[in-house]
Amino acid sequence: MTATPGATPTIVLVGHGMVGQRFLEALAERGLTATHRVVVLCEEPRPAYDRVQLTSYFSGRTPEDLSMTDLEFIEKHSIELHIGDPAETVDREARRVTARSGLVVDYDVLVLATGSYPFVPPVPNKDAEGCFVYRTIEDLLAIEEYAKTATTGTVVGGGLLGLEAAGALKGLGLTSHIVEFAPRLMPVQVDEGGGAALLRTIEEMGLSVHTGVGTQEIVVGEDGAVTGMKLSDGSELATDMVVFSAGVRPRDQLARDCGLAVGERGGISVDEQCRTVTDPHVFAIGECALAADGRVYGLVAPGYEQAATAAATIAADETDQLTFTGADLSTKLKLLGVDVASFGDAHGATEDCLDVVYSDSRAGLYKKLVIGRDGTLLGGILVGDAEAYGTLRALTGSVPPIAPESLVLPAGAGAPAQLGPSALPDDAIICSCHNVSKGTIRGAVTDHRCTTVPEVKKCTKAGTGCGSCVKVLGQLVTAELEASGVEVDKGLCGCFAQTREELYEIVLALRINTYQDLLDRYGRDGARGGDGCEICKPTVGSIIASLAPTIGASGYVLDGEQAALQDSNDHFLANLQKNGSYSVVPRIPGGEVTPEGLIVIGEIARDFGLYTKITGGQRIDMFGARVEQLPLIWARLVDAGFESGHAYGKALRTVKSCVGQTWCRYGVQDSVRMAIELELRYRGLRSPHKLKSAVSGCQRECAEAQSKDFGVIATANGWNLYVGGNGGATPRHADLLAQDLTDAELIRLIDRFLMFYIRTADRLERTSVWLERLPGGLDHVRDVVVEDSLGICEELESLMAAHVSNYRDEWAETINDPEKLARFVSFVNAPDTPDPVVGFVPERDQIKPDLPLLTIGHRPLEGSAQR
Amino acid sequence: MTLAPETTDLKVQLQLADGWFTVCDLNQLLPGRGVAALLPDGRQVALFRDRAGTLYAIDNRDPFSGAAVMSRGLTGTHQGRPFVASPLLKQRIDLESGQCLDDEAVRVATYEIRTA
Ligand code: SRM
Ligand SMILES: Cc1cc2nc3c(=O)[nH]c(=O)nc-3n(C[C@H](O)[C@H](O)[C@H](O)COP(=O)(O)OP(=O)(O)OC[C@H]3O[C@@H](n4cnc5c(N)ncnc54)[C@H](O)[C@@H]3O)c2cc1C
Ligand code: SF4
Ligand code: FES
């Protein structure tokens, strides 16, 4: 029988294992199953199943439970799946595959996913009755059957799979031995110390371990069945059955036979697209492939990446070109009772790296972390207690937010650090089997509204591989649900599914300078083209204002569309009071004001009949101005050299100052000069929440700098910079960011700090809350703004430089713009008539709002009238 | 936003008991923001114009505080319906029905509005 390809091109997949199945899914996701005929040749008597979970068969999972193949999926995508029919020959010239059944298929693209075969050392009698390998469901069924008549079993190989197999034999009621040629168990994953701890635990489980010895011969009885084995040290071990688990080899015979290049030690040579180096029509993925980095990967996660890469390449997707250049080899042993994990650079191969080791052989505990010179966590080994595996693996490649030793100390020793998954950055890979990041998992809860771990597993595939990440997965899902209560959506508001930080990145990266553009392109489906809402308009308005010079928007917040975005106070450049009148706060940098300045303020307040008060921020507030009086008041203030104090904006408020060295006998630096410099530098800077600062002239701290978003305290050598302080409802003392800075260093650090905050904080999130929320907290901020670990400091500085050089006073701009001034009227149709409900009564020689006036003629609950 | 010249001399009118009352020029209404108007009987109205050009008018008094400030609130759309949020304590009022979206018991007067 010959299946001739019609007009539709044909993809033939040889091997329906884990990676083959994933490849089919990737084809379907890219729509290739609709445009191509897809034929699958599957050697095993059942479609793809979860080989990683193979051993769970012995704890009660049926072959059906292990199946990874949804027959509905196969049917829906018209995939021709030939079970129990392996490919026998490939004719690359004719582009034709012949299967054992005689089926002949002509292909346009051939994908080999033939996996591995277990390596069996060439010892005499290796094929005797009672000898097994551990790879397929059929292998397990045979082992199970044979074990019924056996009492002792031996596993050859003390690696990951060998230990699993030994555990399985033990579970079947056999006295079990492990024979390992290397001097320790799991030689690939753990070092000597880890091997010792592991040995103890394994022996405690009742398994006999023989390390440093090789198998020389399988001894058989008269009936030809196994009775024992001879070891390289001359000893003999009695056993009724032998399971070889001495490693795997790529199944590349089919490829060799048709002339495809293979590596010296096997594996079909492919390039970064997973295309064979020999034939552009043939791909190889999974354990049979020798990747472009010269390695054959015996784990499922890299295979999945290869599957995705091959599918993307076949789809010739220009926008989403994937490559496979290598992968991480983290593993965690799933065997019941033994906790073993290794991740990253477990053996400390990186130059100059250092170890942090905790070892307690009595308790069978061994934990090692490999730390780079700069504190980066490079890898590690955990034996006996792999609790922290998920978190540590995800932190690999970054500087952990707490001291590494506190991560490996056992509970009870000192203060054990509980580093929850909340400490992880969003791009941390939680599930390495499926390459699922923390961000994706959070997205499943927030965007896809998953509320349980099973739902998240289904949605993201996380946790459906080796299962070692399920614990962290659960913690993350819970944390995410808890954090958001019933409202699980992390989006800014009903109009945007993105967070403020994400919107900032979009605006900056794409130079989007109008709200409507952002809404129409990035808003939620129902919100596009609409009017937005009271949450996102000011937030986006603030982002645009912070980035104005860089993205080509006007720096004036009342310009064009920006006017419609501003919160009511920003729109009127003053603070609305309870009766509809306004307060006016001129900027008084550093709290320093001349007598003339004080007199002007006094005169203005007197002339307009305003209530005056010294604020908690070292300046003067004038209350009770009517909306139509605002421009008149500003005109006089601007004329006297004052400008807006931004008391209304989510922007810099004040930089408080003590009197400092100039007058104070204790002062060691000129705090007033520095406060003025800082206030003038950052004035008008729009940010996620208001910003406050202070400068004290010595440690006595009369300016209360440690309660500010950024506070500066003078030292004999320069300045100490504190960040993340807060007064308000939840006071917080600021943390010391850097010490003994020069003027220039101080300003550069503050520039970076503020811009990093503006970039990453949530809407209405003060620096204190932000600092505590940010994974890694202060240390992370220090890394970013002091060490420039993200390499963004130059950009942060230039964004600030642009802000500083483009600053213009909003009051002055407004009073010079007749069109804008037209808005400062009580009534559009009666600009000269004052609002009749704004009135004042005397109190302590000044005025206060006439509140009863507000209730006159006010019938709040009347029905809809005048329709 | 710039308006096409032919729309600039359009007048905004409110329906009162005794007929249409002209308030202002259409171009005095900035999309997304409001203005206040004084009616002959002393009542105050907040007038809004949305992005699509649709006009709305509701009572200018904030039903919660009594201050005449609704015209200074931020507007938006909630589930496809236009609203304004009070600039004082942020309660949202549906611009078409006058119904408060955050307190079922509260509703403000609405006015029929047109351009002519
Ligand atoms: C005027 C002033 C009180 C005074 O008469 O002294 C004041 C008045 C207001 N404060 Fe304040 N705060 C004033 C100093 C403070 C201080 C003290 C300070 O800055 O040293 C604090 C605590 C320090 C801090 O912020 O960490 C303070 C913590 C708050 C908070 C709580 C912030 C927090 O993080 O918890 C709010 C609410 C908010 O911003 O969300 C707030 C909000 C407000 C608002 C804007 C509330 C509002 O929306 O109407 C008030 C408007 C004033 C107006 O209409 O002009 N005000 N407020 C002070 C103005 C200082 C200035 O010159 O700009
Ligand atoms: C017990 C056990 C535990 C494991 N635990 C883990 C773990 O914890 N973490 C981890 O990452 N990995 C683990 N692995 C490894 C993991 O299972 C493999 O990396 C993964 O299965 C590789 O997928 P694959 O599709 O490349 O190969 P396979 O899953 O082996 O699939 C290849 C398929 O191709 C078929 N085939 C071969 N030749 C032909 C032919 N000519 N025609 C048709 N079909 C053919 C084979 O029969 C097989 O079904 C474990 C493996 C075992 C055996
Ligand atoms: S902080 Fe030091 S320098 Fe400043 S006023 Fe207080 S005592 Fe003087
Ligand atoms: S890490 Fe293996 S399933 Fe997630």
Element (H, E) at A515: helix A515-522
Search chain B and give the residue with CA nearest A571: B72
Whether ligand 4 lies within 6 angstroms of the CB of A195 is answered as no
At residue A61, the pLDDT reads 84
The pTM (predicted TM-score) of the whole model is 0.54
User: Which residues 6+ apart lie within 8 Å of A281 measured at CB?
Assistant: A92, A95, A107, A108, A109, A110
| Any B CB within 8 A of A36 CB | no
- List of chain A residues with pLDDT < 50: 1-3, 5, 336, 412-418, 486-487, 860-867
Kindly list the residues from chain B whose CB atom is less than 8 angstroms away from the CB atom of residue A560.
Answer: 1
The 10s digit of each residue's pLDDT in A356-386 is: 888 777 777 788 888 888 888 888 888 877 7
- Check whether B95 has a pLDDT greater than 60: yes
At residue A392, the pLDDT reads 82
At residue B1, the pLDDT reads 40
| Any A CB within 8 A of B69 CB | yes
At residue A729, the pLDDT reads 77
CA atoms within 13 A on the CB side of A259: 7
A863–B82 CB contact, under 8 Å: no
Contact A20, A251 (CB under 8 A): no
Interval between CA A728 and ligand 1 midpoint (Å): 8
Nearest CA to ligand 1 atom 51: A575
Say what the ipTM of the complex is: 0.70
Interval between CA A713 and ligand 1 midpoint (Å): 23
At residue A364, the pLDDT reads 73
At residue A862, the pLDDT reads 42
| Any A CB within 8 A of B37 CB | yes
At residue A859, the pLDDT reads 54
B110–A864 CB contact, under 8 Å: yes
Nearest CA to ligand 3 atom 2: A698
Whether ligand 3 lies within 6 angstroms of the CB of A701 is answered as yes
Instruction: State the closest ligand 3 atom to the C-alpha of A668, by its place in the atom list counted from 1.
Output: 3
B63–A835 CB contact, under 8 Å: no
- Check whether B4 has a pLDDT greater than 70: no
| Any A CB within 8 A of B93 CB | no
Whether ligand 1 lies within 6 angstroms of the CB of A654 is answered as yes
Element (H, E) at A637: helix A630-639
Search chain A and give the residue with CA nearest B44: A827
| Any B CB within 8 A of A834 CB | no
Nearest CA to ligand 1 atom 60: A617
Between CA A708 and CA A725 the distance in angstroms is 4
Beta strands A282-284; A109-112: pairing state? parallel
What's the Rg (C-alpha) of chain B? 14
Between CA A189 and CA B80 the distance in angstroms is 58
Nearest Cα residue to A246 out of A219, A218, A274: A218
With both helix axes pointing from N to C terminus, report the angle between A300-315 and A18-29 in degrees, rounded to the nearest 10: 30
Interval between CA A19 and ligand 2 midpoint (Å): 8
- Top residue of B65, B90, B92 to mutate, by most chain A CBs within 10 Å, is B65
Q: What strand order describes the sheet that includes A104-106?
A: A2-3, A104-106, A96-99, A87-91
Between CA B78 and CA A494 the distance in angstroms is 8
Between CA A303 and CA A370 the distance in angstroms is 26
- Top residue of A827, A837, A850, A862 to mutate, by most chain B CBs within 10 Å, is A827
The residues facing A655 across adjacent strands are A693
Q: Around Cβ B22, how many Cβ atoms within 10 Å?
A: 11
Ligand number, closest to the Cα atom of A466: 4
B66–A858 CB contact, under 8 Å: yes
| Any A CB within 8 A of B34 CB | no
A531–B87 CB contact, under 8 Å: no
